């Protein structure tokens, strides 16, 4: 028979799991956006794989950022104009 306490414990466990997922997802999002990868990719991998997802996003996925040759700031690979110094960037290297 299901006691009230069992239900409470189940709800608390479920909330913890949900909280952990949100926490993992937030970290994944942070790592992904830092490396110029879409946030949703970081969130999905983190929720599915946990810390392994962080590792994939943080280490194994190729960063989509490159360095501006004029001001040395990091800009997106696809960018044609640097958002920091406003100068034209050379075309993406293959
Ligand atoms: Zn620049």
* Tens of pLDDT, residues 34-56: 998 999 999 999 989 988 999 99
78 Cα: distance to centroid of ligand 1 (angstroms):
14
In this structure, the chain runs to a length of 94
| Residues 33, 43 contacting (CB under 8 angstroms) | no
Q: What is the pLDDT of residue 93?
A: 59
Q: Tell me, yes or no, if the pTM score tops 0.85.
A: no
75 Cα: distance to centroid of ligand 1 (angstroms):
8
Pairwise CA distance, residues 34 & 74, whole Å: 10
For all residues of the chain together, what is the average pLDDT? 89
88 Cα: distance to centroid of ligand 1 (angstroms):
8
Pairwise CA distance, residues 11 & 91, whole Å: 54
Pairwise CA distance, residues 44 & 46, whole Å: 5
């Amino acid at each position: 028979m299901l006691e009230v306490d069992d239900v409470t414990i189940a709800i608390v466990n479920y909330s913890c799991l949900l909280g952990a997922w949100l926490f993992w997802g937030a970290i994944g999002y942070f790592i992904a956006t830092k490396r110029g990868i879409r946030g949703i990719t970081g969130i999905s991998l983190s929720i599915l794989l946990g810390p392994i997802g962080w590792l994939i996003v943080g280490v194994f996925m190729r960063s989509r950022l490159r360095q501006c040759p004029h001001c040395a700031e990091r800009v997106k690979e696809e960018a044609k104009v640097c958002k920091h110094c406003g100068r034209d960037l050379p075309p993406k290297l293959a």
